[in-house]
Amino acid sequence: MVEYKFPKDFWWGSAASGPQTEGTFDGDGKGENIWDYWFKEAPEKFFNQVGPADTSQVYHTYKEDIQLMKETGHNTYRHSIQWSRLFPEGTGEVNQVAVAYYHNLIDELIANDIEPFMNLYHFDMPMALQEKGGWMNRETVDAYVHFAKTCFELFGSKVKKWFTHNEPIVPVEAGYLYQFHYPAEINMAHAIQVGYHEMLSSAKAIKVYREMNQDGQIGIILNLTPSYPRDENNPEDVKASVIADAMFNRSFLDPSIKGEFPSELVEIVKELDMMPEIQEDDLKIIKENTIDLLGINYYQPRRVKAKETPVDHEHGPMPDDFFDNYEMPGRKMNPHRGWEIYEKGIYDILINVRDNYGNIPCYISENGMGVEGEEKFRNAEGVIEDDYRIEFVSEHLKYVHQAIEEGANCLGYHMWTCMDNWSWLNAYKNRYGFISVELDKDYKRSIKNSGRWFKKVSDNNGF
Ligand code: BGP
């Protein structure tokens, strides 16, 4: 019996990105991006020294992989177009081999009744642009808009769901505050400028998309970390959680949907004297070009308490000058990734979007559980028995279902991810896929228990 039935035409599938799955760093004319470069310069930073060229090789195996997507119940799939594959230098000449590749991928998905969702930026700055400052440099916004326009021209007749960015807060915090993306700076003023340029680039790409009269939807994918205060009755804790929410969620959520940055955040940035460079018309462009569709990535909540001991950071201000993270006693953790598992967070996000963001169409664009050492769960038939992942997904889906019952406009669920893939500095450490990929066995694929389970969920439109 199907106890949790989802609305008709619900999107079932998974998400991945070009740089994490395709492999072949310089194959077929692909240019270098920041990951290819960083791995070359500092391989010791990457878990087991596995680099981005050595990932699931989907570039070569996409046809077989799409059959596996069918076997795991996908009716939709998100990928990203690698900027440095299409434009090896970030701008200039288009790589025609890449054009053919993405056409083939998209055609193969459509031929198999899997709707392609395409994202434009998934942390993969072409190195030629990074050398000129990357997102710090306003010219990168123009180069990005040109890249976006080229993608709409080339693939817009086939792809009807576009996303400007995946998790734009991540290049901000990882690249300019916490050093887990290149250029690994610690500089709050740069972080703010980078975030501003990303947001501007998103609005400008949306403007171009609408001017081209494309008949699809365009949105953005945000990783939302609902902020919970240690003590709801302590005004200082509540204030800390409001600030954390403004910094890490509303910084992109508000301008993407309401066309305006949150006033709490603007006040803080002004007090820090770190206002980004804003040109005439920028704010008008952001105001007028909001999204049609919101992708929500949800992994973990943020628990926050009032700042107790101020820290004098060597490199100037940091977000944690404004709040402390709080390790709530008894919280459930994913021991492999060190992230809290709090299933109700997904419901709280959907209800927040329903109540405070006009109930804009949205879907869960990533949710998943990274596990280290999954080989030990492989049974005699060669199948990984990842029942913990089935539990993780089903417990989250129950809350998605509840939110929909209560009126949330949630249209689908994509798990992170389809094939086990390469994940930035963590490389191949944590496995997330419905399908296992064995690097040392010539990238052999096998569907895990969770993939078989998901097929039934998709077929029944519920579970
Ligand atoms: C999200 C990213 C993905 C993926 C995932 C898992 O934030 O959009 O690209 O990496 O997180 O992250 P990790 O592999 O670091 O655990």
Length of the chain: 463
Instruction: Report whether 439 contacts 421 (CB < 8 A).
Output: no
Q: Can you say how many angstroms the Cα of residue 390 is from the centroid of all Cα atoms in its chain?
A: 21
At 246-292, the pLDDT tens digits run: 999 999 999 999 999 999 999 999 999 999 999 999 999 999 999 99
- Which amino acid type is present at position 432? Y
User: Rounded CA gap, 180 and 177, in Å?
Assistant: 9
> Is 416 near ligand 1, meaning CB less than 6 Å away?
yes
Task: Please give the pLDDT value at position 26.
Answer: 80
User: Rounded CA gap, 306 and 405, in Å?
Assistant: 35
Q: Is 366 a catalytic residue?
A: yes
Spell out the domain ranges in the chain: 11-460
* Ligand 1 centroid, distance to 17 Cα (angstroms): 10
> Is 370 near ligand 1, meaning CB less than 6 Å away?
yes
List the residue whose alpha carbon is closest to atom 3 of ligand 1: 423
SS3 content of the chain, % helix, strand, coil (to 5): 45, 15, 40
Look at the block and give the residue holding tokens 């998709």. 458
At 318-369, the pLDDT tens digits run: 999 999 999 999 999 999 999 999 999 999 999 999 999 999 999 999 999 9
Environment class of 159 (CB within 10 Å of its CB; exposed 0-12, middle 13-18, buried 19+): buried
User: Rounded CA gap, 110 and 113, in Å?
Assistant: 5
- How big is the CA angle at 256 (ends 254 and 258), to the nearest 5 degrees? 50
DSSP string, 92-152: SS--HHHHHHHHHHHHHHHHTT-EEEEES-SS--BHHHHTTTGGGSHHHHHHHHHHHHHHH
CATH class in words for 11-460: alpha beta
Task: Please give the pLDDT value at position 312.
Answer: 85
Q: How confident is the model at residue 25 (pLDDT cuts 50, 70, 90)?
A: confident
> Is 14 near ligand 1, meaning CB less than 6 Å away?
no
Using the predicted structure, report yes or no on whether residue 310 has a pLDDT greater than 90. Answer: no
List the residue whose alpha carbon is closest to atom 2 of ligand 1: 167
> Is 80 near ligand 1, meaning CB less than 6 Å away?
no
User: Rounded CA gap, 18 and 85, in Å?
Assistant: 9
**What average pLDDT does the segment 110-125 reach?**
99
Whole-angstrom distance between the N-terminal and C-terminal Cα of the chain? 8
